[in-house]
Amino acid sequence: MINQILGTLYGMAIGDAMGMPSELWSRQKVKNFFGNIHTFLDGPSENEVAYQYKKGQFTDDTAQALLVLDSLIAKNFHFEPDDFVERLLNWAKEEKAFEKNILGPSSKAALLGIQAGDDVTKITNQAQTNGSAMRIAPIGCLFHPKQKAELIKFVSQISKVTHSSDVTLAGACMIAAAVSGAMAYDTFDQILEFVYSTEAPARELGFETINPSLSTRTRLGIELAKQHAGDDENFLESIYQTIGCGVLMSESVPAALSIAYYAKDVEHCSLLCANLGGDTDTIGAMACAIRGAYEGYSSIRSELIVEINQSNSVNFIRYANHLNEARGTLT
């Protein structure tokens, strides 16, 4: 399982870092500026979010995922919201995340409210963006698919710190379930059926919002993947125009699942996401974590691993060992 857990962690970081330079640019702007992204790049000075990053560096998506793991490791894999919040706020201060505007809108509003000592329930209940899903992929490594109820409960506890609406809990659970399923099942169709089965029970734990079914939108994305098999350009265009790739959970999670299904491997997946346009780093982090869980660390091109290791101060092996030890033990 270490191979698949490391695949999840490195996949997440690779998708995040590859998608960083084009983050939150339209598809046409990405094409006009880059032509085609085919490797790690510095964040361009013209991108008001990505300019601060150098090639191969991951963003707040992977950073927050590691903060979740740091908190769990420190507390013997018992989730303690106060500890996680403290780590988030300390990280935000160190990274000047508020000033640099690198936080998603829901997370930013919730953390500012918490910092001010406010009750942020109204903020977290109305969240509709993807901050809970972008950081959750490694949690899928902790659960076997037979532990669906435990996965949903655990993911929801983590998510509710900043995102407590029905759609944001469902999206996070679906990404974690995709990783869990990818580590256990032989086919992507099996993975997707498990993913779809988590949406309804996860939604029941959150505050009701007006949002479409994530599973229905993902099924549409899978049909587009089949329709455009082998045609990357038209597949991406169809996802961009039909599913959407913005920061809303209802767009980014179905897009990530659809691209993970379509992609040949982690590298291909990362490049698809980077060239898609929209929330490229977050969609890349989610989709490539799933592909990494499915294929394993050993299948990822070594040059990508080296670049991630050189550009970021992180020991993924340590995290993988902790996840492996705790896998299947949480209730």
CB-based burial label for 321 (10 Å; 0-12, 13-18, 19+): middle
DSSP-based three-state secondary structure for 25:
strand
pLDDT at 96 over 90: no
pLDDT for position 116: 83
Residue 186 annotated as binding? no
Contacts of 308 (CB under 8 A, 6+ apart): 10, 13, 14, 17, 56, 58
Residue 231 annotated as binding? no
pLDDT at 150 over 90: yes
pLDDT for position 119: 85
* Token digits of residue 89: 């706020």
Residue 59 annotated as binding? yes
What is the distance, to the nearest Å, from the Cα of residue 298 to the centroid of all Cα atoms in its chain? 21
Residue 121 annotated as binding? no
Residue 60 annotated as binding? yes
Burial 232-253 (b: 16+ CB within 10 A, else e): beebbbbbbeebbbbbbbbbbb
What mean pLDDT comes out for the span 7-22?
98
pLDDT for position 20: 98
Reported as a single tens digit per residue, the pLDDT across 26-72 is 999 999 999 999 999 999 999 999 999 999 999 999 999 999 999 99
Residue 282 annotated as binding? yes
User: How sure is the predictor about 13, in pLDDT bands with cuts at 50, 70 and 90?
Assistant: very high
Reported as a single tens digit per residue, the pLDDT across 171-195 is 999 999 999 999 999 999 999 999 9
User: In this prediction, what percent of the chain has a pLDDT beyond 90?
Assistant: 90
Domain 2-326, CATH number (from 1.50.10.20, 3.40.50.150, 1.20.1260.10, 1.10.4080.10): 1.10.4080.10
pLDDT for position 234: 98
What mean pLDDT comes out for the span 148-153?
98
Task: Report in angstroms the alpha-carbon separations of 76 from 223, 316, 326.
Answer: 42, 18, 9
User: How sure is the predictor about 82, in pLDDT bands with cuts at 50, 70 and 90?
Assistant: very high
pLDDT for position 117: 82
Residue 304 region, left (φ>0) first, then alpha (ψ -120 to 50), else beta?
alpha
* Token digits of residue 51: 């300019």
